[in-house]
Chains A and B, each alone.
Chain A
Amino acid sequence: MTSKKVLEAQKISKYFHDPATIKILNEVSFSLQSSEFVSVIGKSGCGKSTLLYILSTMDTDYEGEVIIDGVSMRGKKENELALVRNEKIGFVFQFHYLLNEFNVLQNVMLPGLKLGKYSEKEIEHRAYEKLSILGIKEEALKMPNQLSGGQKQRVAIARALINDPLLIMGDEPTGNLDKKNSEIVFHIFEELAQVYKQTLLIVTHDNEFADRTSRIIEMEDGRIKKM
């Protein structure tokens, strides 16, 4: 497989205006090739999470260009951006954010149903597949509040995978987990990267985690210090 640019950031700047105007990101540029496993590290407040939300298209208030799969995100409408997130980006947050009203299987299926590319049966089948990759197939019909923290995070990863996204983004995905569960989640990411050639962009402040990824982007004061 020839590697291609999945994501490109061009001179991204971002200001916070409250209480005073601060430049939180200063002309950040980098690109991400297909099937790369990249981690972004930096001290808290250096703007790494802010960068991630801009790259994920959820934050639209920035200067510069975000190019996902060769398409610029600038000037896209809110519902078009939602479609990009739905189709091309899988998201894993520090907190699992599962919907408590749905069971595990339905939570995983939700983005797939929204995309509507496959039939409901097909999506269900795929959801089981993803859950079995993550080793939680047995929990499929449980409600989220019956699961442990580590299991919940794995469900969230399965949800991120359901539409076979171009890119998985993680915002401190192991931040809330203990050592053992962090390890499990890391192994899952590693497996996704190596076996399934999944492109991953993970923000973390866990240097141990970062050291084991294929590429580290280190940020400081709104700039990239080391790439």
Chain B
Amino acid sequence: MKYRLIFRIAYSLLLARWKQTLVAAIGVTFSITMFITLLSFMSGLNDLLDGLILNRTPHVRMYKEIQVSKKQPIDYLQKDPQGHNFIKSVKPKKDRVDIYNSDQIIQSLKKDSRVLGVAPKITAQVFFNVGAIDLTGSINGIDPEEENRLFKFNDYVTSGNFMDLKNVPNSIILGKGLATNMMVNIGDVVQVTTSKGEQFSLKVVGFFQSGLQDLDKVQSYASIKTTQKLLNQSENYITDIQVKLKDILWAPPTAKEYQEVYQIDAIDIQKANSQFETGSSVRSLISYAVGITLLIVAGFGIYNILNMLIYEKMDSIAILKAVGFSGRDVNLVFITIALSIGIFGGSLGLLGGFGLSSLIDNIPFNTESLPTIKTYPINYNPRFYMIGGIFSIITTYLAGYFPAKKASTIDPVIIIRGK
């Protein structure tokens, strides 16, 4: 009953200045629309850019690094040295680059409950022979099925079928840039020279486009078997073990653990690609900052309009108090006005934000480097809508709080006697 009366008074005061109220509500609508659109778009873009690298990067990569031995012979000799040993011009020793016991490691990794999948990989440096010229490049020996399941390999193979790597013997998928440079088409045969000087002929079964042009000019893929043959190595020759975890956030501790358990080098995705995470978080931060600034500006608009309304309706406030409305009632009236502007403008803004982001979502966006993207990326995360909704209410409440407080402390005697 009491609140209904408050609502009625608030409503009639709102209508008394409906044009200004509408402008205030439009301010909120506009800012919420932009807030939602900005965040959805920015976050969609972030996901796209992250996906470019993160989807294709193993969460934990295990490999063997060519490096100087941590313990030099002299350290074995002196169990308890009295001082420091200075050794000059230390060089890495000749060692195999493949992983010992790769089979057992893979088997044991597959049993780990945290692991989504394991894909072995071999990297080999080669020269592609084109007429009189040799182009440097590298061949990644992969298991096409696993590589596709874990790292969406097929998304980047723009022509040809990636499974041909397995089905066609001695086959290769070339980077688009590399293929263009060599002027080869699918079905052609390319000559490859390994670092040890052996020559091979490989049949081109497809092209891939990663979105990173420099990468496409040097990379190519072949099956593990083909690569092992190329390098003249045995069947358990593996240089990298790629692990995809169920949760990307588990990567750092898991990498550390594997490093100790299997005694090989392991690097987690966060360490390997820290620049991407920084970029993403800075971009989100900027979009939040801009969105919140918009809302605060809208809040000032509401504040101004309410302040004006209070000056204009000073008489009405005074008389309400004279006939028995308490300061709290008057306060509630103005808070109600502010919140109605917020809720009305905010909900329209949420709808507007959704509309505008779906519009952007339908704008064609074709780029050479991103073959899988056809329209601008948008992330419809309900969290943005929740934040936008809550924020519109909080800002309008704050914008109404001070004017309402002022109205509630108006002394009716001063107004009434002033006439």
Q: Which of B360-416 contact A (CB under 8 A)?
A: 411-413, 416
B326: interface (CB < 8 Å)? yes
B70: interface (CB < 8 Å)? no
Q: How far is the CA of A110 from the CA of B320 in the complex (A)?
A: 9
A47 to B: closest C-beta gap in Å: 12
Which of B2, B15, B411 is A101 in contact with, Cβ under 8 Å? B15
Q: How far is the CA of A97 from the CA of B317 in the complex (A)?
A: 10
Does B323 lie within 8 Å of A91, measured CB to CB? yes
Q: Which residue of B lies closest to A120 (CB)?
A: B1
Does B324 lie within 8 Å of A97, measured CB to CB? no
B12 to A: closest C-beta gap in Å: 4
Residues of the A chain whose Cβ atoms lie less than 8 Å from the Cβ of B319:
97-99
A146: interface (CB < 8 Å)? no
Residues of the A chain whose Cβ atoms lie less than 8 Å from the Cβ of B413:
53, 58-59
B2 to A: closest C-beta gap in Å: 6
Residues of the B chain whose Cβ atoms lie less than 8 Å from the Cβ of A58:
321-322, 411-413
B13 to A: closest C-beta gap in Å: 6
Residues of the B chain whose Cβ atoms lie less than 8 Å from the Cβ of A59:
413
- Interface residues of chain A, those whose CB is within 8 Å of chain B, are 49, 53, 56, 58-59, 78-79, 82-87, 91, 93-95, 97-102, 110-111, 113-116, 159, 171
A-B contact count (CB 8 A): 77
Q: What are 22 A-B pairs at a CB distance below 8 A? A: A49-B417, A58-B322, A58-B412, A58-B413, A59-B413, A78-B327, A79-B328, A82-B327, A82-B329, A83-B324, A85-B322, A86-B324, A87-B324, A91-B322, A93-B322, A93-B416, A97-B318, A98-B319, A110-B320, A111-B323, A114-B2, A114-B329
Does B326 lie within 8 Å of A83, measured CB to CB? yes
Residues of the B chain whose Cβ atoms lie less than 8 Å from the Cβ of A87:
324
Residues of the A chain whose Cβ atoms lie less than 8 Å from the Cβ of B324:
82-87, 111, 114-115
Interface residues on chain B, number (Cβ under 8 Å):
27
Q: How far is the CA of A86 from the CA of B12 in the complex (A)?
A: 21
B51 to A: closest C-beta gap in Å: 56
5 smallest A-B Cβ distances: which pairs?
A86-B324, A79-B326, A82-B326, A101-B12, A97-B319
Does A116 lie within 8 Å of B322, measured CB to CB? no
Q: How far is the CA of A88 from the CA of B404 in the complex (A)?
A: 27
Residues of the A chain whose Cβ atoms lie less than 8 Å from the Cβ of B329:
82, 114
Q: Which residue of B lies closest to A156 (CB)?
A: B319
- Interface residues of chain B, those whose CB is within 8 Å of chain A, are 1-2, 5, 12-13, 15-16, 315-316, 318-329, 411-413, 416-417, 419
A86 to B: closest C-beta gap in Å: 2
Q: Which of B1, B15, B322 has the most CB of A within 10 A?
A: B322
Which of A79, A82, A113, A171 is B5 in contact with, Cβ under 8 Å? A113
A113 to B: closest C-beta gap in Å: 5
Q: Which residue of B lies closest to A116 (CB)?
A: B1
Does B316 lie within 8 Å of A99, measured CB to CB? yes
Q: Which residue of A lies closest to B419 (CB)?
A: A95
Which of A49, A78, A91, A95 is B326 in contact with, Cβ under 8 Å? A78
Summarize B's interface: helix, strand, loop or mixed. Answer: helix
Given contacts A97-B315, A99-B319, A116-B2, contact A53 B16 (CB under 8 A): no
Q: How far is the CA of A98 from the CA of B411 in the complex (A)?
A: 18
Residues of the B chain whose Cβ atoms lie less than 8 Å from the Cβ of A110:
5, 320, 323
Q: Which residue of B lies closest to A162 (CB)?
A: B323
Does A97 lie within 8 Å of B325, measured CB to CB? no
Given contacts A85-B322, A95-B419, contact A114 B5 (CB under 8 A): yes
B418 to A: closest C-beta gap in Å: 10
Q: Which of A58, A98, A100, A113 has the most CB of B within 10 A?
A: A58
Given contacts A82-B321, A113-B5, contact A97 B326 (CB under 8 A): no
Apart from A58-B321, A97-B318, A115-B324, list 18 A-B contacts with CB within 8 A.
A58-B322, A58-B413, A59-B413, A78-B326, A79-B327, A79-B328, A82-B326, A84-B324, A85-B324, A86-B323, A91-B323, A93-B416, A97-B322, A99-B320, A100-B16, A102-B12, A114-B325, A159-B323
Q: How far is the CA of A78 from the CA of B328 in the complex (A)?
A: 9
Residues of the A chain whose Cβ atoms lie less than 8 Å from the Cβ of B323:
85-86, 91, 110-111, 114, 159
Does B417 lie within 8 Å of A53, measured CB to CB? yes
Q: How far is the CA of A93 from the CA of B315 in the complex (A)?
A: 12
B412 to A: closest C-beta gap in Å: 5
Residues of the A chain whose Cβ atoms lie less than 8 Å from the Cβ of B5:
110, 113-114
A219 to B: closest C-beta gap in Å: 16
A220 to B: closest C-beta gap in Å: 20
Q: How far is the CA of A83 from the CA of B322 in the complex (A)?
A: 10
Q: Which residue of A lies closest to B15 (CB)?
A: A101
Residues of the A chain whose Cβ atoms lie less than 8 Å from the Cβ of B315:
97
B352 to A: closest C-beta gap in Å: 30
Residues of the B chain whose Cβ atoms lie less than 8 Å from the Cβ of A102:
12
Does B13 lie within 8 Å of A101, measured CB to CB? yes
Q: Which of B316, B322, B324, B419 has the most CB of A within 10 A?
A: B324
Q: How far is the CA of A218 from the CA of B328 in the complex (A)?
A: 37
Residues of the B chain whose Cβ atoms lie less than 8 Å from the Cβ of A98:
319
Q: How far is the CA of A81 from the CA of B337 in the complex (A)?
A: 25
Residues of the A chain whose Cβ atoms lie less than 8 Å from the Cβ of B416:
53, 93, 95, 97, 171
